[in-house]
Chains A and B, each alone.
Chain A
Amino acid sequence: MNADDPVIPVDPQDPAPRRRRNQQDGARGGKPFKFGQKGDVREVAVNVPPDEPPPWQFGDTHAVVGQRTPRVDAVAKVTGKARYAYDMNLPGMVWAAFVRCPHARAKVTAVDYAEALKIPGVLVAKDYGSKEIRYALQHFGIVAAETHAACLEAVRAVKATFEVLPHAARMDQALAPDAPRVHAERPNKTGDDFRPEAVAAFEKAAQGCDAVVSGIATTEVQTHMCLEPHGVTARFEAPDRATVWASTQATFGARGEVARVLKVPEANVTVIAHYMGGGFGSKFSLGVAGAAACTLSKELGRPVKLMLERRAEHAQGGNRPSSVQEMSLGVKKDGTLAAYKVSKTGTGGIGGGAGAANPMIYDFGEVAEADFEVATNAGAAAAMRAPRHPQGSFALETIMNLAAEAIGMDPLELRRKNDKHPIRARQYVEGAKRFGWDKRTPSGSGKGPIKKGMGVASSLWYALGGRGAQVLCRIRKDGSVEIRNGAQDIGVGTKTILAMVAAEELGIPLSRVTPFLGDTNDPIGPASGGSTTAPTIMPAARTAAFMAGRSLREIVAKAWNCGADDLALGGGKVLHLKDGSKSMTFEKACALMPGDEIAELGKRTGNYAAYEGQTGGVHFAEVEVDTEDGTISVTRYLALQDAGTILNPLTAESQVNGAIVQGVSYALFEERILDRQLGQQVNADMEMYKIAGPKDMPRAEVILTEVVNGANNVGVAGLGEGPSVPVAAAIAGAVHNALGFPVWSLPMTPDRVLAAIAAKEKGK
Chain B
Amino acid sequence: MGGHAEEGKGSVSRRGFLKSAGVAAAATSLIDDAKKAMEPVGPAPAAAVRGETEIRFKLNGKETVAKVPPSMTLLELLRERLDMTGTKQVCDRGACGACTVHLDGRTVNSCLLLAMDATGRDVTTVEGLAVGDRLHPVQQGFVEEDAMQCGFCTPGMVMSCAALLAKNPAPTRAECAEGISGNICRCGTYLNIFRAMDRASALAKGGK
Residues of chain A having any CB pair with chain B under 8 Å: 70-71, 73-75, 77-84, 86-87, 89, 99-102, 115-116, 119-120, 136-137, 147-150, 152-153, 155-162, 225-228, 275-278, 280, 309-311, 490-493, 650-651, 653-655, 657-662, 665, 675, 678, 680-688, 691-695, 697, 700
Interface string of B35-78 (1 = CB under 8 A from A): 10111111011001010000000000000000001011000100
Contact between A311 and B90 (Cβ–Cβ < 8 Å)?
Answer: no
Partner of B40, one of A81, A155, A225, A276: A155
Knowing A157-B45, A659-B188 are in contact, say whether A86-B37 is a contact too (CB < 8 A): no
Partner of A311, one of B6, B38, B144: B38
Knowing A79-B86, A149-B72 are in contact, say whether A87-B130 is a contact too (CB < 8 A): no
- A75–B138 Cα distance when bound, in Å, is 12
Contact between B40 and A657 (Cβ–Cβ < 8 Å)?
Answer: no
**Interface size of B in residues (CB-CB distance below 8 Å):** 76
Residue in chain A with minimal CB distance to B149? A491
Contact between A80 and B146 (Cβ–Cβ < 8 Å)?
Answer: no
Besides A102-B38, A309-B7, A685-B91, 11 other A-B contacts (C-beta < 8 A): A70-B144, A79-B126, A79-B139, A81-B127, A161-B41, A225-B186, A277-B152, A311-B38, A654-B192, A657-B191, A662-B186
Distance between A319 CB and nearest chain B CB, rounded to angstroms: 14
Knowing A70-B143, A157-B44, A159-B42 are in contact, say whether A77-B148 is a contact too (CB < 8 A): yes
Contact between A89 and B148 (Cβ–Cβ < 8 Å)?
Answer: no
Distance between B81 CB and nearest chain A CB, rounded to angstroms: 9
Contact between B146 and A70 (Cβ–Cβ < 8 Å)?
Answer: yes
In the complex, chain A residues whose CB is within 8 Å of the CB of B83: 89
- A280–B189 Cα distance when bound, in Å, is 14
Contact between B45 and A153 (Cβ–Cβ < 8 Å)?
Answer: yes
Contact between B155 and A80 (Cβ–Cβ < 8 Å)?
Answer: yes
In the complex, chain A residues whose CB is within 8 Å of the CB of B48: 119, 149, 153
Knowing A102-B39, A491-B150, A654-B192 are in contact, say whether A86-B89 is a contact too (CB < 8 A): yes
Contact between B178 and A695 (Cβ–Cβ < 8 Å)?
Answer: yes
Knowing A153-B45, A657-B192, A693-B184 are in contact, say whether A87-B79 is a contact too (CB < 8 A): yes
Mind listing 15 A-B residue pairs with CB under 8 Å? A77-B148, A78-B148, A149-B48, A162-B41, A225-B186, A226-B150, A227-B90, A227-B150, A228-B88, A654-B192, A657-B189, A658-B189, A693-B177, A693-B184, A694-B180
Contact between B149 and A686 (Cβ–Cβ < 8 Å)?
Answer: no
Residue in chain B with minimal CB distance to A98? B40
- A353–B187 Cα distance when bound, in Å, is 23
- A447–B144 Cα distance when bound, in Å, is 44
Contact between A152 and B5 (Cβ–Cβ < 8 Å)?
Answer: yes
B165 CB-CB contact with A under 8 Å: no
Contact between B76 and A100 (Cβ–Cβ < 8 Å)?
Answer: no
Distance between B11 CB and nearest chain A CB, rounded to angstroms: 9
Contact between A158 and B135 (Cβ–Cβ < 8 Å)?
Answer: no
B105 CB-CB contact with A under 8 Å: no
B24 CB-CB contact with A under 8 Å: no
- A228–B86 Cα distance when bound, in Å, is 13
B125 CB-CB contact with A under 8 Å: yes
In the complex, chain B residues whose CB is within 8 Å of the CB of A161: 41
Contact between B41 and A159 (Cβ–Cβ < 8 Å)?
Answer: yes
Partner of A80, one of B85, B142, B188, B193: B85
Contact between B177 and A695 (Cβ–Cβ < 8 Å)?
Answer: yes
In the complex, chain A residues whose CB is within 8 Å of the CB of B155: 78, 80
Distance between A240 CB and nearest chain B CB, rounded to angstroms: 29
Partner of B143, one of A74, A157, A692, A700: A74
- A700–B35 Cα distance when bound, in Å, is 41
Q: Which 7 A-B pairs have the closest CB atoms?
A: A80-B86, A661-B188, A491-B150, A277-B152, A153-B5, A658-B188, A87-B85
Contact between B149 and A310 (Cβ–Cβ < 8 Å)?
Answer: no
Contact between B190 and A697 (Cβ–Cβ < 8 Å)?
Answer: yes
Contact between A686 and B95 (Cβ–Cβ < 8 Å)?
Answer: yes
Contact between B35 and A678 (Cβ–Cβ < 8 Å)?
Answer: yes
Distance between B148 CB and nearest chain A CB, rounded to angstroms: 5
- A301–B88 Cα distance when bound, in Å, is 27
Residue in chain A with minimal CB distance to B143? A74
B87 CB-CB contact with A under 8 Å: yes
Residue in chain B with minimal CB distance to A95? B80
Partner of B150, one of A158, A278, A659: A278
- A654–B180 Cα distance when bound, in Å, is 18
Contact between B189 and A654 (Cβ–Cβ < 8 Å)?
Answer: yes
Knowing A71-B146, A147-B80 are in contact, say whether A694-B176 is a contact too (CB < 8 A): yes
- A148–B92 Cα distance when bound, in Å, is 12
In the complex, chain A residues whose CB is within 8 Å of the CB of B184: 227, 686, 691, 693
Distance between A69 CB and nearest chain B CB, rounded to angstroms: 9
Contact between A156 and B148 (Cβ–Cβ < 8 Å)?
Answer: no
Residue in chain A with minimal CB distance to B5? A153
Interface string of B1-36 (1 = CB under 8 A from A): 100011100000000001000000000001100110
In the complex, chain A residues whose CB is within 8 Å of the CB of B135: 75, 78-79
Partner of A700, one of B34, B96, B187, B191: B191
- A685–B83 Cα distance when bound, in Å, is 26
Interface string of B114-133 (1 = CB under 8 A from A): 00000000000111011000
In the complex, chain B residues whose CB is within 8 Å of the CB of A275: 150-151
In the complex, chain B residues whose CB is within 8 Å of the CB of A160: 40-41
- A155–B38 Cα distance when bound, in Å, is 11
- A684–B183 Cα distance when bound, in Å, is 18
- A19–B39 Cα distance when bound, in Å, is 50
Interface string of B172-184 (1 = CB under 8 A from A): 0000111011011
